[in-house]
Amino acid sequence: MSADRILTAILTRADTGARVAVMAGAATMVAVVSAQVVMRYVFNGSFDWADEVSRIAFVWTMFLAIPLGIRDGTHVGIDLVVKLLPAPQRRMLARIMSALAAAMMLVVLVTSVWVALSTWSERLGSIDMTSSVFFFPVILGALHGALHLAHLTLVPAEIKP
């Protein structure tokens, strides 16, 4: 089995997991925020943990969705000058930019691991959980994104004219 096929198989599974986690995170945000609104305006009370849980769900949802955007090519890009290049040069530039972005994602990964370890003993205010929980999706998203970018470096997507 070639490296490309192995990487594709890994990414397919990671994409499925990320998609499920993003949907679960979005559903959690909607449920918690809706319950909090009902509690405040109907019952004149609130949940102490709702703010932190919805914030955690938001961070997880956003950072786990980034690699899916990389895969689909849906992130914002400025290609005014790039479109003027011939197709072979566009493909080469796409590979170079993917390699540079993968390197950047690896820097984000290493830095996030370091910060998560440094803040492990800090606790969240209303739920007994490490504040490093905010860095876990950054770590996973950076690794997953770096794998997608490495895949794009090896096998670039079709360049549109």
Q: List pLDDT tens digits, range 116-157.
A: 999 998 898 888 888 899 999 999 999 999 999 999 998 766
CA distances from 37 to 47, 49, 124, 160 (A): 10, 13, 22, 46
**Structural domain count, the chain:** 1
Is 90 exceeded by the pLDDT of residue 161? no
- Alpha-carbon distance of 18 to 61, in angstroms, equals 9
Question: Does residue 160 lie in a domain region?
Answer: no
Encoded tokens for 59: 């961070």
Question: Does residue 161 lie in a domain region?
Answer: no
Question: Does residue 66 lie in a domain region?
Answer: yes
Is 90 exceeded by the pLDDT of residue 79? no
Q: pTM to 2 decimals?
A: 0.85
Range of the domain at 8: 3-154
How high is the pLDDT of residue 87?
87
Tell me the one-letter amino acid at 90: R
Question: Does residue 124 lie in a domain region?
Answer: yes
Question: Does residue 27 lie in a domain region?
Answer: yes
How many C-beta atoms surround the C-beta of residue 158 within 10 A?
7
- Alpha-carbon distance of 22 to 64, in angstroms, equals 6
Question: Does residue 135 lie in a domain region?
Answer: yes
How high is the pLDDT of residue 77?
78
Question: Does residue 57 lie in a domain region?
Answer: yes
